[in-house]
Amino acid sequence: MHKLDENQWVSDVWPDLGTAFSLKISAKLHEEQSPFQRIAVYETSHFGRLMTIDGIIMLTDRDNFHYHEMLAHPALYNHPAPRNVVIIGGGDCGTLKEVLKHDEVESVIQIDIDERVTRVAEEYFPALCESNGDPRATLAFIDGIRWMAEAPAESVDLIIVDSTDPVGPAEGLFNVDFYRNCRRVLRSGGILVQQSEAPFLQLPWLLDIRAAMAEAGFMSRKTLSFPQPVYPSGFYSATLAGKDHDLGFFREADARAKPFVTEYYNAGIHRASAVLPEFLKRALD
């Protein structure tokens, strides 16, 4: 463990956006260069442990529940009967943990190209990985783009793309060809959900995601917003795409009676997250 000066900060700097977000740290717990990216873990003064990838903040102990819950539960409750789920990315296993809270889910395949992210998470973020041994879960450390291209048609109910930003290893998870393969693999009534960046600062990325989903043939799209304190601007989004149906429906009674504990998500949040601010509604029209 490499001790750092008590006044040192880890900063997630976005020069093109003119912004930065910093967390005060007391120690560097781990750092390594995997075959794909640089992974580091720090102890912070107020947010628990922090993971960065290539210098960009990925998650902290304190606030990761916003992102993981909103990537998983709205889509699961929008689907009438989700049985088979695929997670592309998600190496920290937080989204996997949330998906497995749903008893109706029969199988989840998590596909992340970089095994080291998961192994580091298992060591330093064990609470996120506590469901990794669930018999319904399969961890596959392979190329998610290739897996999706080769997967059988109409074999999955829900695809969650829990990726890093659309650069480097994740760049291919944000284009029309990938989304076309996702649509092919989904059953009728299936849903794709993609983390879709920070709308206030990264609106062009969100618009590109929605346009690519439409070009790939998805019938409907719905962007949900939620707070994520350690991500750019603290205002984040996930976008759902319905293969061949409208996304207005969700199992609200089931969400209200959810038999598991969450920190952020509930039925009211589900409904409210689809109510977008005026600047974003205009941009998405």
Are 188 and 56 a contacting pair, CB within 8 Å?
Answer: no
Whether residues 43 and 117 share a domain: the answer is no
Calculate the CA dihedral of residues 240, 121, 112, 261 and round it to 10 degrees.
-30
Whether residues 34 and 100 share a domain: the answer is no
How many structural domains is the chain composed of? 2
- Identify the pLDDT of residue 164: 64
1 confidence band (pLDDT: 50, 70, 90): very low
Whether residues 83 and 175 share a domain: the answer is yes
Whether residues 196 and 265 share a domain: the answer is yes
Instruction: Check pLDDT > 70 for residue 124.
Output: yes
Q: What is the CATH number of the domain that holds 167?
A: 3.40.50.150
Whether residues 164 and 123 share a domain: the answer is yes
6 confidence band (pLDDT: 50, 70, 90): low
pLDDT tens per residue across span 232-266:
999 999 999 999 999 988 999 999 999 999 999 99
Whether residues 98 and 52 share a domain: the answer is no
Whether residues 20 and 132 share a domain: the answer is no
Domain carrying residue 46? 2-60
Whether residues 90 and 215 share a domain: the answer is yes
- Buried/exposed code over 189-203 (b: 16+ C-beta within 10 A; e: otherwise): bbbbbbbbbbbbbbb
Helix (H) or strand (E) holding 235: strand 235-242
- Identify the pLDDT of residue 163: 85
Bridge pairing between strands 186-195 and 156-162: parallel
**Which residues carry out catalysis?**
162
- Identify the pLDDT of residue 249: 87
Q: What is the CATH number of the domain that holds 42?
A: 2.30.140.10
Whether residues 205 and 234 share a domain: the answer is yes
Whether residues 46 and 182 share a domain: the answer is no
- Identify the pLDDT of residue 170: 54
Whether residues 100 and 121 share a domain: the answer is yes
Tallying the residues shown for the chain, one arrives at 285
Whether residues 125 and 222 share a domain: the answer is yes
